[in-house]
Chains A and B, each alone.
Chain A
Amino acid sequence: MIRLLTALVFAPTAVALLLFALPRRTAPAVFRAVWVAASAVELALVVVVWAGYEPGGGMQFEERARWIPGAGVSYHVGVDGLSLPLLALTCLLFLACALYSLRENRRIREFAALFLFLQTTCLGLFVALDLILFFVFFDLSIVAMYFVIAGWGHRQAARAALKFFLYTFIGSLALLLGFIGLYLAASPHTFDIVELTEQNPLAGRSVYGALVLLAVVVGLAVKTPTVPFHTWLPPAHVEAPAAGSAILAGVLLKMGTYGFVRIAMPILPEAWREYALVLVVIGVVSVLHGALVALAQTDFKRMVAYTSVNHMGYIVLALGAAAATADSSEQARSLAVTGAVTQMVSHGLLTGALFLLAGVLHERGRTYDMGAYSGLAAVAPAFAAMTGVAAFASLGLPGFSGFVAEFQIFTGSLGPQPLATALSVLGIVLTAGLFLRALRQVFTGPLRLPDAPGTPRVFPDMRGHESLSVAPLLVLAVVLGVAPRFLLDVVEPASRSVLELLAR
């Protein structure tokens, strides 16, 4: 097991460089094939890591090398039960996007290279055990996603991409400020996450701790995003290409929530406990506001984008509720944190699938406006079935991963935060309403297709590569919904240790 994680993280970038080494006249099929193969190898590598991972064994596959010793920065990576599921999700989603893009013709070499580089930044962030390393990958992911949206997006992509970049970049600066605060508080000074977690440097320094937490939470909240920092999300999604949206929602949003469980909760336990109620409120507001605004949308992709705000809200709610140590059982708190991590995986699968399906819709009809479609089930039954399944899974129907996540979150959070949880449960009715309305509008009734000039008259059903990219995500959502043990066995010990660290 030599340097498995380093290989996992940097192999995609190496392949990306290789793509540029190929002559420009190489057939596009070659680029696509290399991309799919590289993503498949990555998925295989992550399966190897999963197989070698020992549940409950703490941080594993650790690697550490000197990087900037003068500033207490090192190249330190490792996986535990919080990051492993997200690594697997990342590799799966990138493979799905590679498969989905098998018909992409616009500058395929650059597109593939960009995605491979993006994969490196995502994987790197989830294995990073050093704040600066984390920050570097955090920012590089923004850069790569900027080019994806600006280069391959729809009409107003440049503006949306700029907004996305500036907003999340400013968020990352807040994050950096918080990291520096942690560095200065630690003695000896260090950016190492493991050492900082052991030190708990801000114990007993409530004002300093509150300020550092504020900086870190604002930085992560922009990325997550939570209300009121979410307005970059809808334009970015609407303008991004389908594969870009799938990665943006499926993986990049998780960087924010992952930061909460990896950095904010273990390193700043006192401050987190003290301000948990603020997080609970942010969570509830995100849940309800996200669902309500989604309900008012007429644009399919924008609607799905807003449901992300809703789904991320559940995670913030659960992590806030888990901080109540006095008046809830250990089982409830463990359920809440495990539910939050499960929700990250589940949301990644389902929203990834939904955005790819939105791409299918746009590719045929050239618009996301739901009012322009009707009765598509007649011409595209497989597309209708897959969208229906993804929608029901996303609204939290039992038998799919969303239910496993949300049931744990609600059950675990109700004891410590009854009012907030009772309010946020309303979110699942609102999401049910909006998805049912969308399904009814687009797929049922008499057939109608958008007839703008230049639109193809026919609406072909799912093509092979599209089904191949979406179906595995949905199948996995079902597997997680019926037999989630293989995931929960990995997550539960990690969430218990987060709770132990939080209780210090």
Chain B
Amino acid sequence: MSALLWALVALPLGAGVLLLVVGRRADRAAPGVALAVSATALGLAVAAAFRHPSARAPFLDGLPMRLTVDGLSGLLAVTVTAVTLVVLLFSAAEFGSGEARARFFGLMLLFAGSMLVTVTAANLPVLLMGWEVMGATSWALIGYWWRDPERTSAADTAFLTTRTADLGLYLAAGAALASGGGRNSSLSLDGLARAEEPWLSFITAGVVVAALGKSAQLPFSFWLSKAMRGPSPVSALLHSATMVVAGAYLLLRTGPLLDASGWGDDVVAWTGAATAVLLGLVAVAQTDLKQLLAASSCAQIGFMVLAAGAGATTGGTLQLVAHAAAKSLLFLAAGAWLTALGTQQLPALLGAARHHRTVGTAFTVAALSLAGLPPLSLWAAKDVLLAGALERSPWLYAAGLAGALLSAVYSAKALWFVWRPAVARPDARRIPAGAVWPLVLLAVACVALVVPAFPPVRDSVSRVLAASGQPAPHTWEFVLSAGLALLAAAAAWGWGARPLPLAARVKSGPADWLGLERAAHVMLVAPTMRLARAAAAFDDKVLDRAVDGSASATVRLARWTNDVVERSLDGTVGAVAAGTRALGRWARRPQTGQLHQYLAQAVAAFTVLAVVLVLVR
């Protein structure tokens, strides 16, 4: 059993590393290898989802590497491998032989493999390993075209932002070990909720921050905007089944922890709702298709995060899977148009859907699903999770509906542009056929995934997820959200490309992603750099100068010793010698050689002696 699980994670990771190590010599073989590997991984993931294997290997002291597949992990693993396979199918047709394909496909496999580690991890060290390797791989993928400084700078922003949030997981691991004397000494994810205060709050805060950062929720959302600089297949994978959904997955997984902390669930639910609304507004304000889609990813994942906070595990998972299908399709279509038409600006994409009918239709299916229109998958999934929000608080439900409304607006906006009457495009390139049918596959998934959102399949999903007592939406909720979405979409369609009659200042906020990146720069990056320069100056001007100063002080002391002490010592010695010589001269004076003078001296001496003797006696 455990061999199955090891194979599931080791196969993509190993093949990815191998392709990277071999490098350009493997360019020709890379797509084939990657497709074979990801197809096999999909098979393994399906098998694992049914058989629920676990595996463990010794790692650190009392902290083994533990992997396990339960209902949630199984569903996620299948989603990850399926989306990876489709995205790689598209890339195999799309990525020309001039590109460094071994690097691309190797990194994509590594990316998917680390996501598989993340979703199958049973304890914190393993989760953190998958989690951070995924971040680093996303850095390499976003900066894949490294000659362009804007792309590499975007990659740096993405990695640094997510890593800053990842610190939460490092701290959570330490806190979990510190709490409660070894009750959770293997740091298992299931056991986190058993910790005691204050460690419990510490752990919750760490996990929540890490998850929000990875999922580009508020206030971390800006990195996802920059992550768009990567190749489109990267965006398709990064936004749908890996990376950004990892945070939502972690929150769904650690639901008991959020409950136990007493505050985590509310914070998470409201952050999700706020992201769904505010980033929905951001999406509406975008004029670049990929930027619109990126903001919508934040907003849609906001729904999953909301679900995790509201305890609607089934709804959140359904949303995750349905969104994965829709969003990967949308990004692949955007990428296909980018290659064919050379633009991703909405005003320049007028009539794009009419040029490539199949791509246009597939794009439309996904966009309608994103808009929350029946009978498509995201419509139903959203209502399943919003039922949980309604149970918790009507305000939360209202915020969710507002987010849903905005989804309809931005989806309709994108559709309006691409379905305008066709413009003549003499220099448009053909979209290769091999790149089209993966899109069709995903479009079918967008439709088919509506089935699990309704009983009886929904009940079996809940059973698989071991989520009992899941709130069930009433019929009116489905009708309400469908009606609202329809109205909003129709209004947005009718409005078209006319500018909104709002002040430029009001509009610039959402268009600029709420100024989050600038805020991060002003509040964190710039002060850190100033501090760094101050520390360097302190090092050079104070510490190092003190060391050099003490050395030169020693030299000065030596000189002073030489000049002053040494001279005075020598002078003393000379003075002693001179004194002795003077004494000698004095002593020579009485020695005249005349006998009568010697006699007189003797008499004087004896007299003195006699006087002294008399006085002393």
Contacts and interface: CB of A to CB of B under 8 A. Distances in A.
Contacts of A228: 543
A381 B23 contact: yes
A429 B152 contact: no
Interface stretch (A109-117, A264-272, A355-363, A414-422): A414-422
Given A293-B539, A335-B60, A414-B175, A397 B532 contact: no
Interface stretch (B176-184, B256-264, B289-297): B176-184
Nearest to B531: A292
Nearest to B146: A444
Contact of A331 (B153, B171, B182): B182
Contacts, number: 159
A228 B132 CA distance: 32
B551 A166 contact: yes
Contact of B171 (A381, A425, A436): A425
Interface residues of B, number: 54
Nearest to A375: B147
Nearest to A426: B167
B143 interface: yes
B547 interface: yes
B136 interface: yes
Contact of B177 (A292, A414, A443): A414
B529 A414 contact: no
B149 interface: yes
B160 A488 contact: no
Interface in A371-423: 375, 377-378, 381, 385, 392, 397-399, 403-404, 407-408, 410-416, 418, 421-422
Contact of B167 (A297, A415, A428, A433): A428
Contacts of A375: 147
B129 A399 contact: yes
Contacts of B543: 227-228, 230-231
A396 B576 CA distance: 72
A289 interface: yes
A429 B159 contact: no
A456 interface: no
A378 B147 contact: yes
B149 A293 contact: no
A397 B137 CA distance: 11
Interface of A, secondary structure class, is: helix
A293 B128 contact: no
A292 B167 contact: no
A304 to B, nearest CB: 15
A231 B60 contact: no
B7 to A, nearest CB: 16
A485 B159 contact: no
A167 interface: yes
A231 B129 contact: no
Interface string A206-242: 0000000000000000000001101110000000000
Contacts of A443: 146
B182 A446 contact: no
Contacts of A167: 547
B177 A429 contact: no
Given A292-B532, A293-B532, A381-B23, A485 B58 contact: yes
Contacts of A422: 171
Nearest to A389: B20
Given A331-B182, A429-B163, A432-B163, A296 B173 contact: no
A492 interface: yes
Interface string A269-303: 00000000000000000000100110111000000
Contacts of A484: 59-60
A433 B160 contact: yes
Contacts of B508: none
A383 to B, nearest CB: 13
Nearest to B545: A231
B156 A437 contact: yes
Interface string A423-453: 0011011101100110010011110000000
Could you say which of B60, B143, B153, B160 has the most chain A C-beta atoms within 10 Å of its C-beta? B60
Interface in B103-133: 125, 128-130, 132-133
A403 B129 contact: yes
Interface in B148-197: 148-149, 152-153, 156, 159-160, 163-164, 167, 170-171, 173-175, 177-178, 181-182, 185, 187
A342 to B, nearest CB: 9
B570 interface: no
Given A331-B62, A335-B61, A415 B177 contact: yes
Contact of B133 (A289, A397, A429, A433): A397
A31 to B, nearest CB: 34
B132 A398 contact: yes
A156 interface: no
Contacts of A166: 551
B276 to A, nearest CB: 28
Contacts of A467: none
A445 B58 contact: no
Nearest to B186: A331
B178 A415 contact: yes
B156 A436 contact: yes
B163 A297 contact: no
Interface residues of A, number: 62
A488 B548 CA distance: 42
Interface in A292-343: 292-293, 295-297, 328-329, 331-332, 334-335, 338
Contact of A445 (B23, B152, B170, B174): B152
Contacts of A444: 143, 146-147, 149, 152
B441 interface: no
Contacts of A293: 532, 535-536, 539
B556 interface: no
A404 B129 CA distance: 10
A289 B542 CA distance: 14
B132 to A, nearest CB: 5
A297 B536 contact: yes
Contact of A425 (B133, B170, B539, B544): B170
A381 B21 CA distance: 12
A77 to B, nearest CB: 28
A445 B60 contact: no
Contact of B61 (A230, A331, A385, A418): A331
Contacts of A412: 174, 177
A430 B59 contact: no
B463 interface: no
A298 to B, nearest CB: 10
Interface in B233-257: none
A414 B174 contact: yes
Nearest to A328: B178
A439 to B, nearest CB: 8
A430 B171 CA distance: 16
B533 interface: yes
Could you say which of A332, A335, A414, A430 has the most chain B C-beta atoms within 10 Å of its C-beta? A414
Smallest CB-CB A-B distances: 3 pairs:
A414-B174, A415-B178, A296-B536
Interface of A: 163, 166-167, 227-228, 230-232, 289, 292-293, 295-297, 328-329, 331-332, 334-335, 338, 375, 377-378, 381, 385, 392, 397-399, 403-404, 407-408, 410-416, 418, 421-422, 425-426, 428-430, 432-433, 436-437, 440, 443-446, 484-485, 488, 492
26 contacts: A163-B548, A230-B543, A231-B543, A293-B539, A296-B532, A297-B536, A331-B61, A335-B62, A377-B146, A378-B147, A398-B128, A398-B130, A399-B129, A407-B60, A408-B60, A408-B61, A411-B174, A413-B174, A415-B175, A415-B177, A415-B178, A425-B167, A429-B160, A429-B167, A440-B149, A445-B148
Given A378-B147, A432-B160, A492-B61, 10 more contacts: A163-B551, A166-B551, A289-B535, A292-B535, A331-B177, A408-B60, A411-B173, A414-B173, A415-B177, A418-B178
Interface of B: 23-24, 58-63, 125, 128-130, 132-133, 136, 139, 143, 146-149, 152-153, 156, 159-160, 163-164, 167, 170-171, 173-175, 177-178, 181-182, 185, 187, 202, 528-529, 531-533, 535-536, 539, 543-544, 547-548, 551
